[in-house]
Structure 1
Amino acid sequence: MSGNALPGAELVVRTIAETAVANERYFGDLDAVVGDGDLGYSLARGFEKLIEGWDEIDRSDAGTFLKRSGMIIASRVGGTSGPLWGTAFLRAGATAGAAADLTGEQVVKMLRAAIDGIKARGRSDVGDKTLLDALVPMTDCLEKQFAAGAGGEEALRTAAAVTREAAEATLGMVAKRGRAAYTGDRSRDSVDAGAVAVAVMVERISETWQTRGATS
């Protein structure tokens, strides 16, 4: 695996799924501070289902794989998380289309499509203290890195650091969406669980990719 390569859709989705399951309690505890505490449980149950049916998911191309994954997630993840995560995967898959290998430019377009889907479905935007406050800075960083000629591994490593910083920066924000919005100014006292979940997942994808690259 070369430094300029990009991780395939299967590696990314599998890592996200395993990270969601492994961090069920952590994400739930974060969400319980001002939310209803079901984020960890909801994500874990949905991604567990994805892992259970892993070998049966259509892998005709990256787009089909992502769309099929999105449908499973949307049908199994509870609460408000299911529609948001499902929409993100479906939009990303539709943008990927029948591409065999994903370039940096394509990945950014896929992420932009996922972001637009989340914004429309959740009626939210950057600054509302949601997962978008981590996902958008991550995508912006990747776009800048690729435009500057960075290889995939370097771009992702840098983006992981930016995503973590952005997630931590939700501390001090007032939640405007979800159950946390009902707590008003009290929501300033904690980070957004969804944003932190995105940061943890991106960090894990970067770590997994680097490990595989070193051993391949």
Structure 2
Amino acid sequence: MSTTTLADVEYVVHSLAQTAVEKEKEFGDLDAVVGDGDLGYSLARGFEKVLADWDSLKRDDAATFLQQIALAISSRIGGTSGPLWGTAFLRASAAAKGADTIDGAAVVAMLRGATDGIKARGNSDLGDKTLLDALIPGTDELERQLAAGASPEECRAAFAAKVRECADATSTMQAKRGRASYSGERSIGSPDAGAVAVAVIVERIVADWP
């Protein structure tokens, strides 16, 4: 996987933000099946703030930029989503700070930092039927592709495919965290809204990669 530039990082965040805003109703409807239905609203409000502040965000390096994103999100998103997404971007920023160049290994480290932050902040892990059940296996797959010497295009495609596969597979799981956990066994049969949202976002990022 070739070196990723700050422009690439900006593209990923901007695409994520646009998708979160555009898919507000879709993500909210997904969340309403067994959750409280506020996922779409929360993400859209937070990433609207990111887009509104876009031109004024500091871009000294990737770490600084990601930290700015974290602050923008945390200032706007309420409920549980704000702290989780804010922490994810802060941890990704911390991982980027130690990298001289943003190569494939650094991207994996940033994703690991983000998921570790979500684990800690949400007191959740693999198997709890959350976005972690899509994002962690996707990161594992990306790391495998990098180790195998896959091209950047192959790495991105494999990452997106694994995230989607695992997001869809959350349908068979019982929710153990968040409002959906109150539904008990009724949460089985529908996918986790957060995991599906991540899959939709990643697919858009990969499909439109400049």
Query: Shorter-chain-normalised TM-score: which range?
Result: over 0.9
Say whether the 8 Å CA contact 2:20–2:47 is kept in structure 1: yes
**Mapping 1:116-195, distance limit 5 Å:** 116-195=116-195
Give the secondary-structure state (helix, strand or coil) at the position aligned to 1:59. coil
Q: Which amino acid aligns with 1:9?
A: V
Contact 1:63 1:99 in 2 (8 A): no
Q: SS at 1:171's partner residue?
A: helix
Contact 2:2–2:104 (8 Å) recurs in 1: no
Would you say the 8 A contact 1:67–1:90 is kept in 2? yes
CA distance in 1, matches of 2:170, 2:114: 20
User: Could you tell me how far apart the structure 2 residues matched to 1:89 and 1:146 are?
Assistant: 23
Counterpart of 1:166, as a letter, is C
Q: What's 2:22 paired with?
A: 22
Q: What is aligned with 2:50? A: 50
Determine the C-alpha separation between the residues in 1 that align with 2:26 and 2:188. Answer: 19
What is the SS of the residue equivalent to 1:176?
coil
Helix, strand or coil: the match of 2:128? coil
Aligned match of 1:201: 201
How does the TM-score come out when normalised to structure 1? 0.93
**Deviations, residues 46-81 of structure 1 (Å, cap 9, x unaligned):** 000100010000000000000110111112112101
**Deviations 1:99-150, CA, capped at 9 Å, x for gaps:** 4641000000111111111000000001000010011011001100001111
Given that 1:6 and 1:153 are in contact with CA atoms closer than 8 Å, whether structure 2 keeps it comes out as no
Residue 73, structure 1, aligned to residue 100, structure 2: no
Please tell me whether the aligned partners of residues 175 and 184 of structure 1 are also in contact (alpha carbons under 8 angstroms). Answer: yes
CA contact (8 A) 1:61 1:98 kept: no
Shift of 1:24: 0.4
Shift of 1:98: 6.4
Counterpart Cα distance in 1 of 2:67 and 2:147: 27
Q: CA deviation at 1:208?
A: 1.4
User: Sequence identity of aligned pairs in percent?
Assistant: 62
After alignment, is 91-100 or 57-66 more displaced? 91-100
**Paired residues, number:** 208
Contact 1:46–1:77 under 8 Å retained in 2: yes
Give me the TM-score of the superposition, normalised by structure 2. Answer: 0.96
Deviation at 1:161, TM superposition (A): 0.7
Letter of the 2:141 partner, please give it: C
What SS class does the counterpart of residue 208 from structure 2 fall into? helix
Question: RMSD of aligned C-alpha atoms?
Answer: 1.3
Contact persistence 1:61–1:100 (CA under 8 A) = no
What is the rounded CA distance, in whole Å, between the counterparts of 1:179 and 1:88 in structure 2? 20
Structure 1 runs of 4+ off > 3 angstroms?
Answer: 3-7, 98-101
SS at 1:36 equivalent: coil
Question: Contact conserved, 2:99 with 2:106, CA < 8 A, in 1?
Answer: no
Q: Which amino acid aligns with 1:103?
A: D
